[in-house]
């Protein structure tokens, strides 16, 4: 498996180690999850940009609007996002 060296600010390495320990996981696990999430988001954006570039832009933009409504339905309470999607459904994004 390839290695990646990165610089993290101040106490972040210690906090990542604590987080992994509490979850009973290796230190790599939180970093793997974050990188996977970033790649999935990038892939989804690329997919929708390609789809929006097709002649049927109206349908593609409707999908993006649906995603916007889904993320706007998230409520921020005390600086933490709480997902309210269990009670709100938008055409498959629930």
pLDDT digits (tens, 9 = 90+) for 49-69: 887 777 777 877 888 888 888
- Tell me what pLDDT residue 42 has: 92
- Tell me what pLDDT residue 89 has: 38
Give dist(CA 27, CA 60) in Å, integer: 39
Q: Is residue 3 part of a domain?
A: no
Total domains in the chain come to 1
Between 57-72 and 28-53, two packed helices, what is the crossing angle to 10 degrees? Answer: 140
Alpha helices in the chain (DSSP H): 12-23, 28-53, 57-72
Q: What domain range is 45 assigned to?
A: 12-82
Q: Is residue 66 part of a domain?
A: yes
Give dist(CA 21, CA 92) in Å, integer: 35
Residue 43 pLDDT exceeds 90? yes
């Amino acid at each position: 498996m390839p290695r990646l060296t990165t610089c993290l600010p101040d106490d972040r390495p210690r906090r990542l180690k604590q987080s992994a320990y509490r979850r009973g996981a290796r230190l790599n696990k939180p970093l793997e999850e974050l990188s996977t999430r970033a790649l999935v988001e990038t892939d989804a954006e690329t997919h929708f940009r390609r789809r929006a570039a097709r002649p049927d832009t109206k349908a593609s933009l409707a999908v993006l609007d649906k995603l916007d409504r889904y993320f706007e339905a998230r409520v921020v309470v005390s600086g933490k996002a709480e997902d309210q999607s269990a009670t709100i459904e938008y055409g498959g994004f629930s």
